Structure 1
Amino acid sequence: MTESSGSSDLWNLTLQHSPIGMALVAPDGRLLMANPALAGMLGYDVDELTSRGFQEITHPEDLAADLGLVARTLEGEIDSFRLRKRYLHAQGQVIWGDLSAALVRSRDGTPLHFISQILDVTDQHQQEERLRRANADLERERQALEAIFETVGVGLLLIGPDGRYERMNRRHEETMRLPFPDGHDGHAGQLGHVYGLDGTTPLTKEEMPSQRAAMGEEFDDYAYWAGEDPLTRTAFSTSARQLRSASGQRLGAALAYQDITDLMRAIQVKDQFVASVSHELRTPLTSVLGYLEILGSRNDLPAQVVRQLRVVQRNALRLEALVTDLLHVGQADEGSLPLRRGPADLASLTRHAVEAVAAVAEEAGVSLEVDVPDRLDTVVDEQRMRQVVDNLLSNAVKYTLRDGSVTVALSEDDGTVRLTVSDTGIGIARDEVDQVFDRFFRGHEARDRHIPGTGLGLDIVSSIVAAHDGEVTLESRLGTGSTFRVSLPLTKG
């Protein structure tokens, strides 16, 4: 065997057993030789494949680029080329191949054939195409979020896990000068001209919304005032959400700041008006009630006049109760709700409240069930706590239909006093439960049934309980009933 024939045999073995598609291609495009790997990749047998030219198995849209490189190689501009192109499979589908081709010439430079190597990259190309589309979608999403981030009418702030400010939109950047006229160091918790809802008490570092968010809190509608000048201060409502990775790792927090100055000013004007009117009404009402009491004590009045005076007195007392409620609301807003704490027996107080509402409950066809200990001593404002029990009981009876029931329970557990008032009444819709302690709020069921009320009772209950460092909660289901729970710290005096 000559050295030349040995090289030829070696080449044939390499060609036949290579896992990569290989072929010898004539300058005119005819396939002189193809290995099984290439034939299998394109769905032909070897003989059938070598009866074709590469032009026949190349996708029409890629043929011009392939022919151009072949021409440049034959002209001697380049010795080899590489091209990713599409091939046509025998079954009609498209195969993506990575083609590497080198031209072999004779000693005198005459082109003999191309040695071509084709790697099937269909899966890789499809992956790349999916990645490209995903990147395009992400870019569109990024641009949309960027547009929203910069055009929304609220200030937006992103805080990193270390509390550093990572990004804010123009809206927030503009408002930063209000609380921080001398500049900001870009870290959560920096103190500035930021005040509580009273407009005078500066927020501590722990109360700053950025610090709360940096410490992992999530909250909604956290309101405060910002600005050095009390006359030009701006009120903001801030909400915060934590940012986490898919694995749950904390990445930081996002905060949204909304200007609510107009709303807060309007509320202040309304509350001042209500307080002013309430004060103005109390003096003449006191006089009216006093004279009604004097008239009621006379024995020389006709029975019809006495009945009429009782109607007037009943309605005057109702008006006085409303004025008292409005004054109470004004005191709570000013942060000056007066408490006269002293020793009190809550068990006796609760029983008396039940006795007071018993006649109304009997007339409405509502039964009262009482589970109260013989005695439960603590230190509270007895008159204010009577307001709490009275309001909860009157509400329960008012919103319970005939043949329903109201249950009152009082107990002490591990240093905590617990008062529970449950009813089998009309209940409260799920989307309204969080609003029942809001001032002037009345549920749609109460409005639809024309049940009288001002929407102040539960607001008063909430403020009195809060002033005693307690908590009031509600569980309710529409059409089933409601349960109010009051928890107070037990104080021995």
Structure 2
Amino acid sequence: MAGENADLWRLMLQHSPIGMAVVAPDGHLLMVNHALSEMIGYTPDELTRVGFQELTHPDDLDADMELFNQTLAGEIDSYRMRKRYLHADGHVVWGDLSVALVRDADGEPLHFISQILDVTEQRLNEERLEAANAEMEAIFETVNVGLLLIGPEGTYERMNKRHAETMHLPFPRGHDGAAGQLGEVYLLDGRTQMRREDMPSYRATQGEEFDDYTYWVGADPATRSAFSTSARQVRGPDGERLGAVLAYQEITDLIRAIEVKDEFVASVSHELRTPLTSVLGHLELLCESDDLPAEAAAQLRVVQRNALRLQALLADLLLIGQVADGTLELHMGPADAAAIAREAVEFARVSAQRAGISLTADLPERLPLRADAQRLRQVVDNLVSNAIKYSRSGDAATVTARQEGDRVVIEVADTGIGIAAEELDHVFGRFFRGGEAIQRQITGTGLGLSIVGSIVAAHDGTVTVESEQGRGTTFRATLPARL
């Protein structure tokens, strides 16, 4: 290399932002640029007095020398490798090294041209990622929750040990590794076998995300297990769907405990109903007696009112029991949602006035639908009662009803104390009472909204709630008209 071309080459080498060196066949550095000098902390003069062997980390030297010698021997023309260099201050610099051999006209080696890109930061990031992946791998395999990764086409990509251990329960004859395969999987009633579109894996492949999807697995009711499953979609940086991840938590003990509780409540409710009916009958006869002292008659009326409250509570408990065991019966027929809501408002008006609450209705003349009128009245009664109970003097409650396509919508809105955001997901649970209600000592059993949700669901409808603490609450029941 001589003349103008040599000068141009040297100029390019010196000003290149990438570390560059001309290396003799024995490894001695003949020429280095400023970028390489800065990268490993030596001056150009210091570098031209050593060979690359002295600058290379001992653990990478053998691999570098093997490739170096293969190139000299003509077995390869060039090579590339990632290696560590020893900085002047003792720390390690990672370099992406590319090496090419220049030969003379007779094929004899003249020198090597080396380019070294500093990838230290990239390598540190890779190490952090590797450490994070190792930690995630440990968590993935050791958590007491079954984890399953499903690819975009519905194939099982990976599962952890916990999930693999439970796969024989729903699929005793094995699984083909694709979402939606049917097995010994049953809805929460324990009798209805899941259809393909109900299987959590299939729902996840259809893009659904859900929490606490509960069901039974196993053919034998005595030994089967209950699971709660949640699903989330996995997406790429541009939002493209890459698959889904599902988490499976066994909750057999919890579900069986709930069943025992439900059986106990139902049993006690049935046992109490008969003697309570007898008590109420005799109280009615006594209260109608003309020869009772005024004080005794007043005390009997107090007993009667409390006995009636107990009867209403037992009726609620029996209804909850029917919902739990799937025996709730609806007596469907022509009904008028507007008339039902109007009656509920009139019934609650005295209570609202006594509490200082403005109760109004915005209802059409008629709003026909096919429903169990008595059960639907229970829904509206409970919602209106709650609106009054959880409002303050001076607040307002409004009942509206309207037709939306083939659906009937009944709304009960109030300007009362509202519901805390963290409690909204729990309001339809049995026996749930919010912190504000407990703090204010508002009476109640926590069954009303559970009954509302159950009756609406039995009509193939939905009930939703919107609330802001201190500003009020709106419950919205939507039912099919089925005219």
Please tell me the TM-score bracket, short chain as reference. 0.7 to 0.9
Match of 2:161 in 1: 170
The 2-side partners of 1:129 and 1:164 are apart by 38
Matched, 1:183 2:158: no
Partner of residue 350 from structure 1, selected from 313, 328, 341: 341
Matched, 1:339 2:330: yes
Matched, 1:318 2:303: no
Q: 1:39 to 1:154 in 2, by over 3 A?
A: closer
Alignment of structure 1 residues 9-408 onto 2, 5 Å: 11-18=2-9, 19-20=12-13, 38=33, 54=47, 62=55, 121=116, 124=117, 126=118, 128-408=119-399
The 2-side partners of 1:393 and 1:192 are apart by 45
User: How far is 1:129 from its partner?
Assistant: 2.1
User: How far is 1:301 from its partner?
Assistant: 1.1
Moved more, 398-407 or 12-21: 12-21
Task: Count residues with an aligned counterpart.
Answer: 445
Which secondary structure state, in structure 2, belongs to the residue aligned with residue 20 of structure 1? helix
Unaligned 5+ residue runs, structure 2? 15-20, 66-70
Moved more, 281-290 or 249-258: 249-258
Match of 2:17 in 1: none
User: How far is 1:236 from its partner?
Assistant: 0.6
Match of 1:109 in 2: none
The question of whether the paired residues in 2 share the 8 Å contact of 1:439 and 1:459 is answered with yes
Match of 1:419 in 2: 410
Q: In structure 1, what residue type is equivalent to 2:13?
A: I
User: How far is 1:246 from its partner?
Assistant: 1.3
User: How far is 1:153 from its partner?
Assistant: 0.4
The 2-side partners of 1:441 and 1:276 are apart by 21
Q: 1:86 to 1:239 in 2, by over 3 A?
A: closer
Q: 1:119 to 1:432 in 2, by over 3 A?
A: same
Q: 1:117 to 1:17 in 2, by over 3 A?
A: farther
Which secondary structure state, in structure 2, belongs to the residue aligned with residue 241 of structure 1? strand
User: How far is 1:42 from its partner?
Assistant: 6.0
The 1-side partners of 2:101 and 2:130 are apart by 37
User: How far is 1:88 from its partner?
Assistant: 9.7
Q: 1:98 to 1:192 in 2, by over 3 A?
A: closer
Q: 1:85 to 1:450 in 2, by over 3 A?
A: closer
Q: In structure 1, what residue type is equivalent to 2:163?
A: H
Q: What CA deviation, in whole Å up to 9, does each residue of 1:156-203 have, x standing for no partner?
A: 111112212121111111111111112111111111111111111111
The 1-side partners of 2:474 and 2:4 are apart by 88
Q: 1:38 to 1:151 in 2, by over 3 A?
A: closer
The 2-side partners of 1:23 and 1:446 are apart by 82
Calculate percent identity across the aligned residue pairs: 52
The 1-side partners of 2:318 and 2:337 are apart by 25
The 2-side partners of 1:420 and 1:85 are apart by 71
The question of whether the paired residues in 2 share the 8 Å contact of 1:24 and 1:115 is answered with no
The question of whether the paired residues in 2 share the 8 Å contact of 1:57 and 1:87 is answered with no
The 1-side partners of 2:137 and 2:479 are apart by 49
Q: In structure 1, what residue type is equivalent to 2:404?
A: D
Q: In structure 2, what residue type is equivalent to 1:392?
A: L
The 2-side partners of 1:206 and 1:241 are apart by 17
Q: What CA deviation, in whole Å up to 9, does each residue of 1:84-137 have, x standing for no partner?
A: 897999xxxx99898989999xxxxxxxxx97666563xx1x2x2233222222
The 1-side partners of 2:57 and 2:145 are apart by 55
The question of whether the paired residues in 2 share the 8 Å contact of 1:370 and 1:407 is answered with yes
Determine which structure has more spread, i.e. the larger CA radius of gyration. Answer: 1
TM-score, normalised relative to structure 1: 0.81
The 2-side partners of 1:257 and 1:57 are apart by 61
Q: In structure 1, what residue type is equivalent to 2:401?
A: L
Match of 2:439 in 1: 448
User: How far is 1:142 from its partner?
Assistant: 1.8
The question of whether the paired residues in 2 share the 8 Å contact of 1:85 and 1:99 is answered with no
The 2-side partners of 1:387 and 1:141 are apart by 55
Q: 1:39 to 1:12 in 2, by over 3 A?
A: farther
Which secondary structure state, in structure 2, belongs to the residue aligned with residue 452 of structure 1? coil
Q: 1:206 to 1:54 in 2, by over 3 A?
A: closer
Q: What CA deviation, in whole Å up to 9, does each residue of 1:212-254 have, x standing for no partner?
A: 1122221111111111211000001111111122122222211
Unaligned 5+ residue runs, structure 1? 1-9, 73-77, 105-113
Match of 1:108 in 2: none
The 2-side partners of 1:323 and 1:85 are apart by 78
The question of whether the paired residues in 2 share the 8 Å contact of 1:274 and 1:326 is answered with yes
The question of whether the paired residues in 2 share the 8 Å contact of 1:58 and 1:87 is answered with no
The question of whether the paired residues in 2 share the 8 Å contact of 1:79 and 1:103 is answered with no
User: How far is 1:64 from its partner?
Assistant: 11
Q: In structure 2, what residue type is equivalent to 1:389?
A: V
The 1-side partners of 2:57 and 2:283 are apart by 108
The question of whether the paired residues in 1 share the 8 Å contact of 2:395 and 2:415 is answered with yes
The 1-side partners of 2:112 and 2:278 are apart by 109
User: How far is 1:359 from its partner?
Assistant: 1.2
- RMSD across aligned positions (CA): 3.5
